[in-house]
Amino acid sequence: MIIRAAKLHKAFGGHEALRDLSLSVPEGSAYALIGANGAGKTTTIKLLMNIIQPSSGDATVLGVNSRRLSARQFEQIGYVSENQDMPGRLTVGEYVDYLRPFYKTWDCALERALLSQLRLPMGHRIGDLSHGMRLKMALACALPFRPKLLVLDEPFSGLDPLIRDEFMERLLHQAGDMTVFISSHELPEIEGVTTHVGFIDQGTLLFEESMAELSERVREVRITLAREVAMPERVPEGWVDMAVMGNVLSFVDTRFKHDRLAGNVATLFLGIKDIDVRPVALRSIFTTLARAARERGASSWSGIS
Amino acid sequence: MVWHILRKDLRLLRIGVLVVATIHLAGAALRSWLGLFPEPRQLVIVADLLSLLSLLGIVVLTVAVMHEDAVPGVRQDWLIRPINRIDLVFAKLLFVMLVVQGPLLLADLSQGLLDGLTFPDSLGAAAARNAAVLCFFSLPALMIGAVTRSQMESFAVAVVGLIIYVAVFLLGVVLLLGVRTSIGGSGLSWMFGATWYALALVGSAVVVWLQFFWRKTSIARCLIGAGGAAIILSSFVPWRAAFALQERLSKQPSSAAAIELAFNPLLGPFKLPAGSAAASGAGLYLPLRVTGIPVAAVVFMDRADLRISDVSGRTLYQGRTNLTVDGVGSIQDARLEVRQSEPGAAAADVHQRIFIPASIYAGLKDQSVRMEIDYSLTLLRAAAVFSLPASGGTVRLKGLGWCSTRIDDDGDEVQLRCLDTGRTPSCFSAFLQYMPGSIRNPEAHFCDPDYTPLATNLWPDALSRLGGEVPFFDRSGLTRYPVDGSKLADSRLVIKTYEPREHFMRHLNIPAIQLSRFAAVPGA
C-alpha cells in the first residue's frame, strides 16, 4: 500500500473532523476519496501530507510515517489543491525555475510540454492568474518530476467544464504508473479514472473498495408487478432508496447478487411481470448511499455497505 | 539550496531591500555631513527620522522574508515541496544577515570612514552595532515573522503587545501600584538590554526550531509572550541582586575599601543658593562626611534605600532617596557625586538630598526617628587627561576620537563635541586653562554613568558621542570666571575622563535624627 491510515482522529477544539479513519491506497491505483463538503476529505489529505498533525492514530505514506515525511518523500509526491498558496508575486516562469532544482527527477522536456499544452502564461504573475489557471499551474508544477504519488485535493472546485476536461486529459495522459489519490465531490469527472473509492461522511470512512466491486454490488432494480403494490414493511438488508409507483417498485440494491435478488423478490412479491436490473453511475451510488446513510443514521450504515 | 531560496526571496523583496538600503546610506551620509555640531535642527530631525526608518525597515524586511515562506497555516505550497527545513532556516537567517543587515553595516562603515575614523575602528563599530541591531530588532522580528502569516498579522501582534505593555506595565504596575523599575535610569540599565539580547538569541533559536521543524505555532507564540514578559520583568529585578552582579564585575575590587560615609551634623543645614526658590517641605539635605576617597577619584551614588523607624524599630517609611511612591522627587536632583574638595584632603563634606513623601515628612519632621540608608556606590578614578584649543580646535584624541570646540551662540560657554567608535567615557570633567599662566576655571562635571561591558552603540548610528558645555561668562554677574572670553584664544579646554573601578555598598545608621533640622534654609 502506498498510503495506509490507521484510526486517524482529528479534533479542532470541540469539533471532531475525523473519527478513527482507516484507509488503504494500493500502489498504482487511482483512489477517490468522495464525500460531501465538510465530510473530512481535505483534513484527511492534510494529515497524510503532514501539513497538520492527527490528534491520534497514524498513517504511512510511501512507507514512511506521515509525521516524518521529509524532502526525500516529497520529491516523489505531487500535490494539487484548490486552495494552494503559491508565491503570488513570482511569475509562472520564475516559480517553475525556482522549483526545478529541488527535484532530482525533474524532466525539463515534460515541463515544457505541460506548460505549452496547458497554455500557461510564463510571464504573468501567479497572483494575477485566474483560479482555473492557478490550478493548471499547480498541476504543471506537480507532474514534471514524475511523482510516484499524485495527491489532488478537490482539483475541480470552481473550474469551468472546459478547464476540467483539459485538466483531466492532461492528468490521464501523464498518469502512467503513478498512484493518484483524489478527493472530490465532483463525481462524474473522476468516475472514468477511479479504480478505488472511499466514502467519507462526517469524518468517518463508511466504506472503501475497488470500483469494479462497487459497481458490481450496487444495482438499480425496477420490478414491474401484475397489480398495484404497497411498500413492504420489511425489506432485505441492502435495499435502499425504495419507491413505489402503481405496480412498479424501484430501489437500489447495495448487495446485489442475481440469485439472491431473484429469491428475495419471489419471497416478497407475487405476480412479477418484469425485473429490470441496471448498473448505477458513481454519482448515483454516492447520492443514494449518502441519503440512505443520513436516513438510517451512521449506526446502521453497515446495512448498506 | 540555501542560496537558491535566498535568491528567490531577494527577487521578491528587491524593491524593499533597495529602499531600506537607500535609507541606511542616506542617513549615514546626512549624519556625516552634519558633523560634530549638527545643525540646523530640522536636518537633525530628518537624520533621526532616517535612523528610525532604517531600523523600521530592517524589522519590516525581516518579517517579510519570513512571510515569503510563512510557517503558520495549511495552504502554503512550500509545505509539500522537497525543501529541506534546515536549508530554509539558513536561507532566512542568511537573508537577514546579508541582505537586511549588510547594507546597514556598509552604511555605518562608510559613515565612520567619512568622519575620519580608521577602517578597523569603523568596521569594528559597524559590526558591533550590526550585532546589536540583530539582537534588538532583527531576531525579535524574525520570531514574530515565524509565528504570523502576514504583515498585517505581525502589525496586529505588535500593537497588541504595545497595548498590553502600556496597560499592564506602565498604567497598572508603575502608575497604579507605584512599583518602580529597579535598574532603569541607573548605570545598571545595560542589564535590561543584555537580558533582551540573551532572550532574543535563545528565544529566536527556540522559536525557529519549534516552527520550522515542528510547526508548533501556539507554543511558539506563548514563548514569545513569555519572553516579552521576562524582558519587562528584568527591569524589576531586585536592586540588591543586580548590584551584587555589578559588584562582581568591578574592574578593581577593593579599591574602595577605605571609603566610609558618616552622618556629619556639624556641617549644619544646607543653605540654598542666593535667590533660589524655597525648598520643598518634602525634602531634606542630609549632611555627610565621606572619607577615604583616593586622589583624582569620584564616588558616585547609584542608589540609596532609606528606612525610617521609631524607637521601637517599627518602620515608619521605606523608599528610595531619589523617588517616592507618589511621584515626588527627581533622579537628577538627588544625585550624589563626592570628590575630594582639594588634593590631599582627608574628607569631603556634602549634603545628600533626600526626597520623602510630603504627608510622611509632615508627620515625622519634628519627631526623633532612626534613619538607615543602604548606599550603592561606584568609585570612578581618573583615567586620562586630554586638552584641545578652547575654541575652533578640531583634533584627534586617542581615547576620545575626533573632538572639536566652539563658542556657543550666546557667547558664554565653550561647547565640546567628540565622536569616536566603541564606548566613550560616561564620566568626565572639563575646565578652561589659560596657557600663558596657570589660571584655570572651576571644573565642570559631566557624569551619567553607564557600566555596560558591551561596547556597542545602537542609536542613532554606530558611533559614540561625548559632549558638554563649559561656561566662561555668567550674564547674571554672580560668578566671575578667571578665564573669560578675552583669554579664550590662548586657552585650552582640559578634559579628564573617569572610569568605574569598583562598585560597593555602605550602610549608614543614624540612631536619632530630627528631620526638620536638616531642611534647606534660604541662602544669604
Closest Cβ–Cβ partner in A72, A81, A99 for B81: A99
> Residue A2 — φ and ψ, nearest 5°?
-85, -30
Residue-wise DSSP of A159-185: --HHHHHHHHHHHHHHHTT-EEEEEES
Question: Taking residues B390-397, what's their average pLDDT?
Answer: 90
Question: Taking residues B369-376, what's their average pLDDT?
Answer: 95
The closest alpha carbon to B448, from B465, B433, B460, B461, belongs to B465
CB contact under 8 A, B82 and A102: yes
Residues of A with CB below 8 A from B80's CB?
49, 51, 74, 77, 79, 151
Report d(CA B465, CA A297) in Å as an integer: 79
**pLDDT value of position B165:** 80
**pLDDT value of position A299:** 45
Report d(CA A59, CA A53) in Å as an integer: 10
E strand or H helix at B383: strand B368-389
Question: Taking residues A11-17, what's their average pLDDT?
Answer: 88
**Cis previous bond, B460, omega within 30:** yes
Strand A15-25 to strand B464-471: parallel, antiparallel, or no bridges (unpaired)? unpaired
pLDDT tens digits, A87-145? 999 999 999 999 999 999 999 999 998 888 888 899 999 999 998 889 889 988 999 99
For the ranges A147-161, A201-215, B129-143, the one whose mean pLDDT is highest = B129-143
pLDDT over 60 at A180, yes or no? yes
Residues of B with CB below 8 A from A72's CB?
82
Cβ–Cβ under 8 Å, residues B50 and B26: yes
pLDDT over 80 at A76, yes or no? yes
Q: What is the DSSP letter of B365?
A: T
**pLDDT value of position A300:** 46
- Residue predicted with more confidence, B332 or B79: B79
pLDDT over 80 at B162, yes or no? yes
Count of Cβ atoms closer than 10 Å to residue B452 Cβ: 16
CB contact under 8 A, A101 and B4: yes
Closest Cβ–Cβ partner in B1, B74, B79 for A101: B1
> Residue B481 — φ and ψ, nearest 5°?
-100, 130
Residues of A with CB below 8 A from B15's CB?
none
CB contact under 8 A, B81 and A74: yes
Question: Taking residues B227-256, what's their average pLDDT?
Answer: 91
pLDDT tens digits, B192-236? 899 999 999 999 999 999 999 999 999 999 999 999 888 888 888
> Residue B237 — φ and ψ, nearest 5°?
-55, 140
Task: Look at residue B238 and give its three-state secondary structure.
Answer: coil
Size of interface A-B (CB pairs under 8 A): 52
Task: Look at residue A189 and give its three-state secondary structure.
Answer: helix
> What is the chain A residue with the closest CA to B74?
A51
Q: For the purposes of burial, counting CB atoms within 10 Å of the CB of B143, is it exposed (0-12), middle (13-18) or buried (19 or more)? A: buried
> Residue B39 — φ and ψ, nearest 5°?
-150, 155
> What is the chain A residue with the closest CA to B83?
A71
Q: Which residues of A touch B (CB under 8 A)?
A: 46, 49-52, 70-75, 77, 79, 81, 83-87, 89-90, 94, 98-99, 101-103, 138, 151
Q: What is the ipTM of this complex?
A: 0.86
Residues of B with CB below 8 A from A87's CB?
8, 12, 68, 77
Cβ–Cβ under 8 Å, residues B238 and B182: yes
Residue-wise DSSP of B34-90: H-SS---HHHHHHHHHHHHHHHHHHHHHHHHHHHTT-SSSS-BGGGGS---HHHHHH
Interface test with B, best of A76, A85, A86, A151 (most B CBs within 10 A): A85
CB contact under 8 A, B80 and A87: no
- Residue predicted with more confidence, A204 or A292: A204
Mean pLDDT score of chain B, rounded to an integer? 90
- The grid cell for B3 is 542560496
* A157-166, B271-280, B377-386, range with the lowest pLDDT: B271-280
Question: Which residues neighbour A74 within 8 Å (Cβ) at sequence distance 6 or greater?
Answer: B80, B81, B82, B83
Question: Taking residues B268-279, what's their average pLDDT?
Answer: 71
pLDDT over 70 at B97, yes or no? yes
pLDDT over 90 at A58, yes or no? yes
pLDDT over 50 at B423, yes or no? yes
Residue-wise DSSP of B178-229: -PPPSSTTSTTTHHHHHHHHHHHHHHHHHHHHIIIII--HHHHHHHHHHHHH
Interface test with A, best of B5, B14, B79 (most A CBs within 10 A): B79
Distance from CA of A73 to the nearest CA of B (A): 7
* A162-171, B43-52, B255-264, range with the lowest pLDDT: A162-171
* B197-206, B326-335, B360-369, range with the lowest pLDDT: B326-335
**pLDDT value of position B331:** 55
- The grid cell for B370 is 532612626
Count the helices and strands in chain A (H runs, E runs): 10, 14
**pLDDT value of position A305:** 53
- The grid cell for A245 is 409507483
pLDDT over 70 at B182, yes or no? yes
Residues of A with CB below 8 A from B82's CB?
71-75, 102-103
Cβ–Cβ under 8 Å, residues B331 and B301: no
CB contact under 8 A, A46 and B8: no
Interface test with A, best of B71, B74, B88, B213 (most A CBs within 10 A): B74
Report d(CA B387, CA B300) in Å as an integer: 24
Cβ–Cβ under 8 Å, residues B371 and B308: yes
CB contact under 8 A, A98 and B12: no
- The grid cell for A128 is 494575477
CB contact under 8 A, A52 and B74: yes
> What is the chain A residue with the closest CA to B67?
A87
Distances (CA, A) of B246 to B304, B447, B449: 16, 18, 13
**pLDDT value of position B239:** 93
Distances (CA, A) of B508 to B260, B271, B372, B376, B424: 9, 23, 6, 11, 33
Question: Taking residues A143-156, what's their average pLDDT?
Answer: 90
pLDDT over 60 at B368, yes or no? yes
Complete edge-to-edge strand list for the sheet that includes strand A272-279: A239-245, A248-253, A219-225, A272-279
- The grid cell for B328 is 515626588
Strand A219-225 to strand A248-253: parallel, antiparallel, or no bridges (unpaired)? antiparallel
The fraction of chain A above a pLDDT of 70, given in percent, is: 94
Closest Cβ–Cβ partner in B8, B75, B84 for A84: B75
**pLDDT value of position B311:** 85
Distance from CA of A83 to the nearest CA of B (A): 6
The fraction of chain B above a pLDDT of 70, given in percent, is: 93
**pLDDT value of position B188:** 93
Report d(CA B396, CA B403) in Å as an integer: 6
Question: Taking residues A62-80, what's their average pLDDT?
Answer: 94
Question: Taking residues A200-223, what's their average pLDDT?
Answer: 88
Question: Taking residues B341-366, what's their average pLDDT?
Answer: 82
pLDDT over 70 at B523, yes or no? no
> Residue B518 — φ and ψ, nearest 5°?
-115, 20
- Report the first-to-last Cα separation within chain A, whole angstroms: 22
- Residue predicted with more confidence, B321 or A297: B321
Residues of A with CB below 8 A from B72's CB?
none
Report d(CA B157, CA B161) in Å as an integer: 6
Report d(CA A144, CA A138) in Å as an integer: 11
- Residue predicted with more confidence, A83 or B201: B201
Distance from CA of A202 to the nearest CA of B (A): 21
pLDDT over 70 at B275, yes or no? no
**pLDDT value of position B340:** 67
Q: What is the DSSP letter of B440?
A: B
Report d(CA A116, CA A133) in Å as an integer: 13
Q: Which residues of B touch A (CB under 8 A)?
A: 1, 4, 8, 11-12, 68, 73-77, 79-84
Q: How confident is the model at residue A215 (pLDDT cuts 50, 70, 90)?
A: confident
User: According to DSSP H, which parts of A36-153 are helical?
Assistant: 41-48, 71-74, 92-99, 108-117, 131-140
Report d(CA A6, CA A4) in Å as an integer: 7
- The grid cell for B216 is 508548533
Strand partners, B396: B402
Question: Taking residues B360-370, what's their average pLDDT?
Answer: 91
pLDDT tens digits, B425-460? 989 999 999 988 789 999 898 988 899 988 888 989
Report d(CA B48, CA B346) in Å as an integer: 48
Query: Sign (positive/negative) of CA torsion A42, A45, A47, A52?
Result: negative
Distance from CA of B146 to the nearest CA of A (A): 16
CB contact under 8 A, B1 and A102: yes
Question: Backbone dihedral region of B405: left (phi > 0), alpha (psi from -120 to 50 degrees) or beta?
Answer: beta
Closest Cβ–Cβ partner in A83, A85, A87 for B12: A87
pLDDT tens digits, B40-65? 999 999 999 999 999 999 999 999 99
The fraction of chain B above a pLDDT of 90, given in percent, is: 68
Exposure b/e, A185-207, CB count within 10 A at least 16 = b:
bbbebbbeebebbbbbbbbbbbb
Question: Taking residues A280-288, what's their average pLDDT?
Answer: 82
- Residue predicted with more confidence, B407 or B340: B407
Report d(CA A239, CA A296) in Å as an integer: 12
Mean pLDDT score of chain A, rounded to an integer? 86
The closest alpha carbon to B239, from B176, B315, B321, B361, belongs to B321
- Residue predicted with more confidence, A186 or A227: A227
Cβ–Cβ under 8 Å, residues B191 and B47: no
The closest alpha carbon to B414, from B524, B488, B520, belongs to B488
Task: Look at residue A1 and give its three-state secondary structure.
Answer: coil
Residues written for chain B: 524
pLDDT tens digits, B457-510? 898 999 999 999 999 999 888 889 999 999 999 999 999 999 999 999 999 999
Helix A108-117 to helix A131-140 angle (10° resolution) is 160
